[in-house]
Amino acid sequence: MTTSSSLWQPFTLGRIELPHRLALSPLTRSRANADGTPGPLAATYYAQRASLGLLITEGTQPSDDGQGYPNTPGIYTPEQIEGWRKVADAVHAAGGALFIQLMHVGRVSHPDNTPHHRQSVAPSAISADDDIFTATGLQKTPGPREMTAQDIQTTIADFRHAAASAIAAGADGVEIHGANGYLLHQFLSPNANHRTDSYGGSVENRSRFVIEVARAVAEEIGADRVGIRLSPAVPLGGIDEGDTDSVRTQYRHLVGELAPLNLAYLHVHHVGDDELLRSFREVWPTALVVVRLGRTREQIADDIDAGLADIAPLGRFALANPDIVERLRTDAPLNEVDPATLYGGGEAGYTDYPTLAHA
């Protein structure tokens, strides 16, 4: 076994008992139906990976405004709730737990991709200046509309409603996506947030929206059913958070303010500042979930062994290997990811990766 024995220790995360320290990382697959309901193969896809224990779903929009890419799922209409119920039932039948990731993309969007075809919203009217996939090919993200004070309150309410909808669908919890250049991350970043009200300017003000979303969701469904994902210094979606000191100041404040909420976990998309990660570990009262960029198979347990993480989610390894847990336990070879089938399409590259039993 090339992976450390620490990976195979059970763990209690919020209300769920996990059999080990692995999980499924959230992975956009762009295979939902046009109305935002999970596609017919989604239940199969997630159930195939149920041995990972904690399954964090692909980014799922909490509103029409929250959608960025074509064919991503939502969790705010009765039809979407019904679609996700099939997924949750399949995952539970296979022994896994499901957390639906709530992802509002903010300015990382295009009117061609949303149900209402409106201009995107963001903390400030500053474009991500990024390329985005649309039905007609790659296009530039257009400039967003600056959110009003009422827009901010409406969006917090949308997150609250989406969390309640996830629980109504049978999910075990939700993960708030505060990372990777999307709306919450845009509020945190000084180059995307030029507001002069109580949601912009200082570190405290830029953190306010994230804290208010987390508090509202925790109030709605229980803090022990809520995780939050952060990505300090990750420059996706046109984000630039400044130098190392600026990033540390921002995130130490934010994590310190989130810690008293006693959420089920903090999920860190980590790009290498171990000093910052250690400071999270010192103040965070519950589980720390860490995805480290560029990690090899042999390094999966390193952060757990170092005391920097409790859970090590898998992305591409799990995407290409539905039975990744068995393969790691038995030192079996791994399938390689087919990049051409990552986004959109049908079962090819989605539900047809071979297991050891069928290889």
Residue 318's nearest CA partner among 96, 66, 155, 81 is 96
Spatial contact of 234 and 271, defined as CB atoms under 8 Å apart: yes
Beta strands in 241-352 (DSSP E): 265-270, 287-292, 312-314
Decide the pairing of beta strands 137-140 and 131-134: antiparallel
Cα–Cα distance measured from residue 33 to residue 287, given in angstroms and rounded to the nearest whole number: 34
What Cα–Cα distance (Å) separates residue 165 from each residue in 61, 79, 172, 173? 12, 11, 11, 10
Residue type, 194: H
From 182, 251, 265, 350, active-site residue: 182
| Token pair 């960029």: residue | 293
Cα–Cα distance measured from residue 120 to residue 111, given in angstroms and rounded to the nearest whole number: 7
What Cα–Cα distance (Å) separates residue 150 from each residue in 69, 156, 204? 25, 10, 20
Cα–Cα distance measured from residue 145 to residue 125, given in angstroms and rounded to the nearest whole number: 5
Residue 67's nearest CA partner among 117, 136, 123, 130 is 117
Rg over alpha carbons for the chain, rounded to the nearest Å, is 19
Q: Which residues pair with 177 in a beta bridge?
A: 229
Active site residue 265: no
Helix (H, G, I), strand (E, B) or coil at 236: helix
Q: Which residues pair with 227 in a beta bridge?
A: 175, 265
Write phi, then psi, for 125 (nearest 5 degrees).
Answer: -80, 65
Residue 183's nearest CA partner among 267, 109, 101, 76 is 109
Catalytic residues: 182
